[in-house]
Structure 1
Amino acid sequence: MRLNATMRAALAAATEDRIVFDLAGIEEQYEALLRELPGVSVRFAMKACPVDAVLARLADKGSGFDAASPREIEQALATGVPADRIHYGNTIKSDRNIAAAYRLGIRDFATDSLEDVAATAGHAPGSRVFCRLATTGDGALWGLSRKFGCSGADAVRVMESARSAGLVPSGLSVHVGSQQMTSEAWQDTFERLADVIVDLDRRGIVLDHVNLGGGLPALGYLDNRGRPLVPPVDKIFAVIRDGMQHLAAVSASPPTFLVEPGRHLVADHGAIRAHVARLSSREQNDGEREHWLYLSCGKFNGLYEMDQLQYRLLFPTHDGEDGVPAVVAGPTCDSDDAYAHEHNRVLVPRAVASGDPVWILSCGAYATGYMTQGFNGFDPLPATWTDGQ
């Protein structure tokens, strides 16, 4: 994450813990995505950053939304986008939730089972459905490989059932896994999509769209040993462009394409202003002495994803000072609340004191949505934003 002058000023001005979003940076990232994938329609994955100011900015740029519940649908509609730019992308829906979404004007529903098709036909008659194909999730930090999606053969059965039930079998969707680090995952996914499209064409079901889902990576993370994560984004985009051309060629009628970015748009444009609780030194049972840096922000109030990755830390009042290797952890009485674990250390300025500010970078994705109502009495972070270069 590159901190521009406006973000630096906003973080420096904060006297209490908070997460700050760079709306201009999110807008630039959105525009860059459209340049990489021209003609593709964006449905922002709301779960990645359910912050009204962020959603409003994306809506103003032309984005629609991928919503997973009636409450998210209501939040998306509040931005002013029409209902036809919102789809219910969650394959897991109760009868009550399907009916509520339908009352709100939603007519595009994800599905992956015959049971869900029957429920959708009963509570959202005449709606359009798109079937989610399962992927392996290989190469992603979070694979998403079993809870969602079905096989290609099952997808054909699902779409035929939708047609028989009076629904419109309109598309297919996929998700290659969150923070996907390979281009090969996309190649495999396009092959799966092509096989199903051809099979459906033979059965008289011509799809009007393909939803490529999420998985596009952020660039500012470290792995859980403190090394930079370097996804091959240029190759990933090239594979996606080639894959879309291939699907258009094998389809009876070339489909339109949607994409559901979440962290790719927001992760590197959000940062947390936290503070030091304590830098301490303790001898362990094996005789090793360890330094531990305890922060005011941890797994349960902003850094939920720290089991799989690390975030870059800046100590603005101790820049350039000598450091000591330390395990970094959050403030709660939970042993999982550790940012850098026993196999890894972060270089921390020796002179940090309780209350000193710490800036935690690339926190724009999932930080707000995953926060509890106050685990162990530590409050969730309030969100603010800046809008400059």
Structure 2
Amino acid sequence: MTATTPPPGSRLHRALADAPGDRLVYDLAGVEAAYANLVRELPGVSVRFAMKACPVDEVLTCLARRGSGVDAASPQEIAHALRTGVPVERVHYGNTIKSDRDIAHAHRLGVRDFATDSLEDVEAIAAHAPGARVFCRLATDGKGALWGLSHKFGCSAGDAVRVLERARDLGLTPSGLSVHVGSQQMTAEAWDDACDRLADVLTALDRRGILLDHINLGGGLPAAGYLDQWGTPLEPPLDEIFAAVRQGMRRLTRVAGRRLAFLIEPGRHLVADHGAIRAHVLRLTSRERQDGARAHWLYLSCGKFNGLYEMDALQYRLVFPTHLGADAVSAVVAGPTCDSDDAYSHDHGLVEVPGAVASGDPVWILASGAYATSYMTRGFNGFSPLPLVCLPSDRVPPPRRPERIDDVTACAGGPR
């Protein structure tokens, strides 16, 4: 089953139409439906929502009630997750970059699962979170993703073996391996390659008597509703991606020769398409460029610093509800601030916008639910953060038993 953006007439669209002013709207029922689809596609996989994508209380609570845990990157995120009802046994410290103080703080909060990718970090974990479980992040090349994440995080296969051997020597539990194939990954092959890397390290560790109990397949699952920098719809092959993940899980289980638990860390995949912004037009202008050509600029009340941070790498879908079907002009779309980076590309990022649009007209910015709140400034140039509205879900969550990694078994060969 392929994820889709909310259709016209959906709850999200109705909320945008009814909004009396600018705001960011989340449809919690849509978020829950995306989660339900994910666990159907990957049966037996335990979800750790990458909360940096949407640290909104209502979103965290609704996912926790469905059984999701959290991938947290700081003690502050850990505490936030716990306040919203996420059980501590479903929280791991997924950031490989952390100070001694942060490790100790997370340990005091009850977290026992820590990511690592270096000898220095694993030694700090042993000193400040004695007895903890550690999983080592492998580097990937990030090919096929909008954001490759190939430099700052992850280590080589050889380093992974050395790090987990050192963890064992220091009294920690070397518990797993993780990867991240890059954010908004658009290919199934990326997961095939990641599983190749994981299989090689699993085999090397087995030879050294280190028997891991889980594999963390990380983030990267794409959202469906984006446009690329040129305005072409991005169409991620989700069915192929899910099939590659299931096949990779079966392969890794065979390589290990024992039952493994599997985790995954979706972020934008669960929230991007179920959040949208109601903004308004500031002005449509026409100016002569230095080369003599004329250019249209559409200035909106929302831009890079108050909800649309990822406009450097993609275009958001714009709907002008009071000008549907109107004659259009090609324009550079920009936010309201006095900052030249607050705009789509001046060359290839032109957008067809209604030529008759006027100051104050509403505009809906779809598929903007990921990272909208995370990257929003407190008020750069005096433009305040957007008010937040969550449309409640009437779904009744199924009962869930307490969960730990070591008692989650992946049913990788089960039904889709």
Q: TM-score range by the shorter chain?
A: over 0.9
The partner residue of 1:126 within 127, 131, 150 is 131
After TM superposition, the structure 1 = structure 2 runs for residues 269-280 of structure 1, keeping only pairs within 5 Å, are 269-280=274-285
| More deviation, 379-388/262-271 | 379-388
**Aligned residue in 1 for 2:84:** 79
Cα distance in 1, alignment partners of residues 393 and 191 from structure 2: 35
User: What percent of counterpart residues are identical?
Assistant: 71
- 1:318 has 2:286 as partner: no
**Aligned residue in 2 for 1:47:** 52
Shift in Å, 1:192: 0.2
Cα distance in 2, alignment partners of residues 255 and 74 from structure 1: 29
| More deviation, 252-261/289-298 | 252-261
Write the deviation string for residues 344-378 of structure 1: whole angstroms up to 9, x where unpaired: 32111122111111000000101110111111111
**Aligned residue in 2 for 1:359:** 364
The amino acid of 1:93's aligned partner reads K
**Aligned residue in 1 for 2:245:** 240
The amino acid of 2:84's aligned partner reads T
- 1:371 has 2:391 as partner: no
The partner residue of 1:68 within 73, 76, 81 is 73
Cα distance in 2, alignment partners of residues 245 and 175 from structure 1: 19
Q: Pick closer, same or farther for the CA change 1:160–1:388 going to 2, 3 Å.
A: closer
CA contact (8 A) 1:326 1:345 kept: yes
Q: Secondary structure at the match of 2:344?
A: strand
Q: Secondary structure at the match of 1:265?
A: helix
The amino acid of 1:317's aligned partner reads T
CA contact (8 A) 1:340 1:346 kept: no
Write the deviation string for residues 290-329 of structure 1: whole angstroms up to 9, x where unpaired: 1110001011111110111001100111111111111111
After TM superposition, the structure 1 = structure 2 runs for residues 180-219 of structure 1, keeping only pairs within 5 Å, are 180-219=185-224
**Aligned residue in 2 for 1:5:** 10
Shift in Å, 1:5: 2.8
After TM superposition, the structure 1 = structure 2 runs for residues 1-389 of structure 1, keeping only pairs within 5 Å, are 1-3=5-7, 4-387=9-392
Scaled by the length of structure 1, the TM-score of the pair is 0.98
Q: Secondary structure at the match of 1:310?
A: coil
Cα RMSD for the two superposed structures: 1.1
**Aligned residue in 1 for 2:407:** none
Cα distance in 1, alignment partners of residues 377 and 250 from structure 2: 43
| More deviation, 109-118/75-84 | 75-84
The amino acid of 2:116's aligned partner reads T
Q: Secondary structure at the match of 1:222?
A: coil
The amino acid of 1:298's aligned partner reads G
Shift in Å, 1:232: 1.1
Write the deviation string for residues 75-127 of structure 1: whole angstroms up to 9, x where unpaired: 11112222110000000000000000000000000000000011000100000
Q: Secondary structure at the match of 1:294?
A: strand
The amino acid of 1:2's aligned partner reads P
CA contact (8 A) 1:329 1:340 kept: no
Q: Secondary structure at the match of 2:368?
A: coil
The amino acid of 2:391's aligned partner reads T
The amino acid of 1:361's aligned partner reads L
Cα distance in 1, alignment partners of residues 85 and 349 from structure 2: 46
Shift in Å, 1:255: 1.1
Cα distance in 2, alignment partners of residues 375 and 253 from structure 1: 53
Q: Secondary structure at the match of 1:271?
A: strand
Shift in Å, 1:388: 5.5
Cα distance in 2, alignment partners of residues 388 and 166 from structure 1: 45
Shift in Å, 1:386: 1.0
CA contact (8 A) 2:70 2:92 kept: yes
CA contact (8 A) 2:6 2:12 kept: no
Cα distance in 2, alignment partners of residues 66 and 343 from structure 1: 36
| More deviation, 246-255/160-169 | 246-255
The amino acid of 2:358's aligned partner reads A
The amino acid of 1:319's aligned partner reads L
**Aligned residue in 1 for 2:412:** none
Q: Secondary structure at the match of 1:309?
A: coil
Cα distance in 1, alignment partners of residues 85 and 222 from structure 2: 28
**Aligned residue in 1 for 2:409:** none
Q: Pick closer, same or farther for the CA change 1:388–1:78 going to 2, 3 Å.
A: closer
Shift in Å, 1:203: 0.5
Shift in Å, 1:259: 0.2
Q: What stretches of structure 1 of length at least 5 have no aligned partner?
A: none
Q: Secondary structure at the match of 1:92?
A: coil
Q: Secondary structure at the match of 1:43?
A: strand
**Aligned residue in 1 for 2:410:** none
Cα distance in 1, alignment partners of residues 164 and 11 from structure 2: 49
Cα distance in 2, alignment partners of residues 252 and 156 from structure 1: 19
Scaled by the length of structure 2, the TM-score of the pair is 0.92
Q: Secondary structure at the match of 2:375?
A: coil
